[in-house]
């Protein structure tokens, strides 16, 4: 049996992307973010829409329009395709663990 919160034996000094399920129209992945007190400078411009769930920890997402979203255990957020964003902060204890569902969005 697998557990989404299990992180033993993983290198938690870097962000980990683990694909749990991949189908034609969607992908489900677990993301484990290391402690990022000042965020990740990398901006993401997703080609697909995504629904992200923060399973554990705390995080702040920053969007290109300077909108900041604070998330904690159990929070979720829909991110439309093409919506530029970055991780501005993630907690150290506990680490931020995400469940992300990326799916094809045919809307314009």
Structural domains of the chain, ranges and CATH numbers in brackets: 16-103 (2.60.120.10)
Q: Output phi, psi for 42, to 5 deg.
A: -75, 125
Residue 11: per-residue pLDDT: 77
Residue 107: per-residue pLDDT: 65
Residue 40, phi-psi category: left (phi > 0), alpha (psi -120 to 50), beta (remainder): beta
Nearest to 62 by CA among 46, 84, 77, 33: 84
**Tens of each residue's pLDDT in the chain, 108 residues:** 688 988 887 777 888 999 999 999 999 999 999 888 886 678 988 889 999 999 999 999 999 988 999 999 999 999 999 999 999 999 999 999 999 999 987 765
pTM of the model as a whole: 0.88
The side-by-side arrangement of strands in the sheet containing 85-90 is 68-72, 58-63, 85-90
């Amino acid at each position: 049996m697998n557990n989404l919160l299990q992180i033993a034996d993983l290198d938690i000094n870097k962000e980990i992307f683990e694909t749990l399920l991949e189908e034609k129209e969607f992908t489900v992945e677990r993301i484990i973010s290391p402690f990022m007190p000042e965020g990740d400078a990398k901006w993401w411009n997703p080609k697909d829409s995504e629904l992200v769930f923060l399973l554990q920890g705390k995080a702040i997402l920053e969007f290109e329009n300077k909108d900041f979203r604070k998330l904690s255990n159990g929070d979720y957020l829909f991110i439309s395709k093409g919506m530029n964003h970055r991780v501005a902060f993630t907690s150290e204890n506990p680490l931020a663990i995400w469940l992300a569902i990326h799916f094809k969005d045919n809307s314009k």
